[in-house]
Amino acid sequence: MASAEETRQLPQLFEQTSQYRHWRFTPEALEQLRAANNQQGIDRVLDGLGKEVQVEGSSETRITEATNNMLTPQEELQLVNYYLQMIVQTITALTKTYREKNLLRAEAINNIKATAINFMKRFYLHNVVFDYPPKTIMFTCLYLATKVENSFMKIEDFIWPLQDFEKRTSGQVKTKNDDILGYEFVVIQSLQFELAVHHPYRPAYGFFLDMQAYFDDISQLKTIYDRAQQLIGTSLFTDLVFFYQPSQIALGALKTAAKEKDIDIDMYLAQRFDAQSLEVLFPILDEIQETILGFKIISKKNAQAIDRKLILCRNPEKNPNSKLYKKKVADQEEMPYVSDSD
């Protein structure tokens, strides 16, 4: 049996997760990773365009045009963040349809949303929008999240409300089954096959239950908790998930919500944490509050402007509409089949 000292030295449960071990960064390290990723993506685009020049009908002006419109790391991040917002809008718009057909439980919605957003944020730490436009990847991440969060549905059931919406609004179906399933393995591989996601909703509920022993007015506490859930929803669009533990983000959201109602929960914290822990915790909660309240949504106009630039600097080797991509597919189809026994 472990001694008391050995028990205190054991890592917390979250510290044993792949999310803690593989998906935590300092702000500086995260910025450097995105900058390096962006530069590698630019190099691949220029290399692909150089190859495309060799394809009949291609022009070297494409290289100049692409070079003048390359996205910066900040523009990449803004575009990805816009489509993170679209994940929320999509699941919000389709929830009623899914629930009417008993495909989705109400209590699973926040978990699916948070997991899909987390998947997409992780994906673009190892990939760039030049290769994989987020407009496509977001649906794959959302569908994969339904599986991970125990809300599996057939691809036909998942996609038909999307197709119905597209048909009613634009007169044509743009999203097909293969558009989602075709990228599923690429996404899973980019996630390093680590699909378990820990987000702040669960610990926030735990704190809400625990706080009931310290508050006389439970309805007031419920108001704080409901507002904290909204703030957690905002936190999903920030980089907080890469810096702090879900329980810290949850507590930061609750403290922020309480402060908005002129309610002080420091007395609760003082009874739940020792002085040394609070000395470390309070600056973290302040940083979480500042980040959440300082977040600004990415406007559709801004995203469309970046999207237009992206059209000019897509990697032709990954773009199904490019001549280089079509030539590679045609060459592969013409290659003779050689069996293992030959």
Query: What 3-state class would DSSP assign to 70?
Result: coil
DSSP structural state of residue 59 = -
Domain-wise residue ranges, the chain: 77-197, 201-294
Fold topology of 201-294: Cyclin A; domain 1 (1.10.472)
Cα–Cα dist 102/336, whole Å: 48
DSSP structural state of residue 214 = T
Structure token digits, residue 226 = 């409901």
Structure token digits, residue 10 = 């054991």
Cα–Cα dist 152/132, whole Å: 25
Cα–Cα dist 195/219, whole Å: 36
- Average pLDDT for consecutive 10-residue bins of the chain (342 residues)? 39 65 86 96 90 69 84 96 93 80 80 94 95 92 92 86 72 76 93 88 93 88 95 96 93 95 89 88 94 94 94 84 70 58 50
pLDDT tens, position by position, 83-122: 999 999 888 888 877 777 777 787 888 999 999 999 999 9
Contact residues for 118 (Cβ-Cβ < 8 A; gap 6+) = 197, 199, 236, 241
> Under CATH, which architecture does the 77-197 domain have?
Orthogonal Bundle (1.10)
What pTM was estimated for this model as a whole? 0.86
Task: List Cα–Cα distances, 163 to 94, 159, 186, in angstroms.
Answer: 11, 6, 23
Query: b/e map of 67-78 (b: 16 or more CB within 10 Å)?
Result: eeebbebebbbb
